Amino acid sequence: MMNARLPGFLTLLVGAAIIIAFLPSSALAHDSYYWFNPIGWDNHADIDYKIDASIPGSAGSAFEDRIHSSVGRWNSQCCIGTFHFDDVGNGDRAFNDPCNWKEDATDVWVFHAEIGIPGVVGENFHCTVYHQQQDYTDIHSGRVTFDEDYTWYTGDDGNPPAGQYSVADVAVHEFGHDTGTFKGGNATEGTSGGHWVPAPSTMCASGGAESDWTMCGPTFDGEGYKIPLEPHDIDTFQDFY
Amino acid sequence: MLSVRAVERIRRWGPAKLALPLGLLLAVAIVAPGLTQESGEERKDPGREWALAAGCDLSGSEVPMSVGEFDYAAGAGSKTLEEAVLESSSVLSSEGASYSEQTLRDAVAAADTSTNPIEVRLKGAALTVERTSDGLYQVTQLVMCA
């Protein structure tokens, strides 16, 4: 009798252990410190972007090339999959107030302009609409800006000279916001401007091994910032979609 | 109630053969609710919170807002909260919302500075200011009623 029951009980334990081991545990899921509330485009599988005439160099310049290659990193790796460069009618869009553009067919405009806050290297702005009844916010248009007060490095090797800022690094970060993830929903929980936050999680801790993740709070300080995308960035974004 | 057929099947298979599927079921029952709860709690739409913070008009079914993020150079920032907010005034005005210096100072004085980030609320806009590990203040987010 004992011999018959013991193997059955053991098998039950083994079965449970196997399943628990292979299922993604809630303890391994993302904690509240770096969960973000993604808000989406009407059609997040088809987001057009245009490059304003303010971007240095003529069409096809190294500056533009770095923007395209950074966008390509998201397109090739992540869930959203489809930023499309709209090569028609680029340029001369008014820089400010993205909500004035919401009737425009183009989704994201990329600028080189004076942002206006000292120390700010890059900026991402969106025009959003909150639909009260559905409790849902969507994006109508966006704007990526490289501040004109800084010297921009157009190489693609992640190694800008001292005092210069990498177009590729900043572009991939800003278009990370354009995947539909930006401001977190609750400041008291430490969600932080669409970035993975440093504390109390070890993510993005200053000087830490993870501080070069693409969507960490950016400190675009040349050599200290590496070209993404890191696995954590990819995994986290993929979880949104 | 088990059917006669089911009872016969249990007798034929024996407890050892049933234990594995029962174990699997048990494991799923334990783990699955936790996973569901985890994702459900975190994916809250932020729109209403933004609109309330910025004091936008909630009388209509749709509430348009501009939402921006500012990314800083390493070591950049302001020494005080007030300085950080005052330095953002040019962005506010260029985006279509002008505030007097006194209005900005009053908003800073009214802000709860026990949190990080700190939310500074204006009529028609809300600024999120983060205190960096260097003790500097950065305006990292802006929500404006459109």
- The verdict on A116 touching B (C-beta cutoff 8 Å) is yes
User: pLDDT, tens digit, for every residue of B54-109?
Assistant: 999 999 999 999 988 888 887 889 999 999 999 999 999 988 889 999 999 999 99
The pLDDT of residue A22: 47
Partner B contacted by A82 (CB < 8 A): no
Render pLDDT for A14-44 as a digit per residue (tens, 0 to 9).
655 555 554 443 333 333 333 455 557 777 7
User: Which residue from A139, A71, A56 is spatially nearest to A101, judged by alpha carbons?
Assistant: A139
What is the predicted pLDDT for the residue at A240?
63
- pTM, whole model, 2 decimals? 0.76
ipTM above 0.85, yes or no: no
pLDDT tens for A80-138 read 557 899 887 666 667 776 666 655 666 888 999 999 999 999 998 888 899 999 888 88
Q: Which residues of A touch B96 (CB under 8 A)?
A: 96-97
Chain A residues touching residue B83 (CB < 8 angstroms) = none
Average model confidence (pLDDT) across chain A: 71
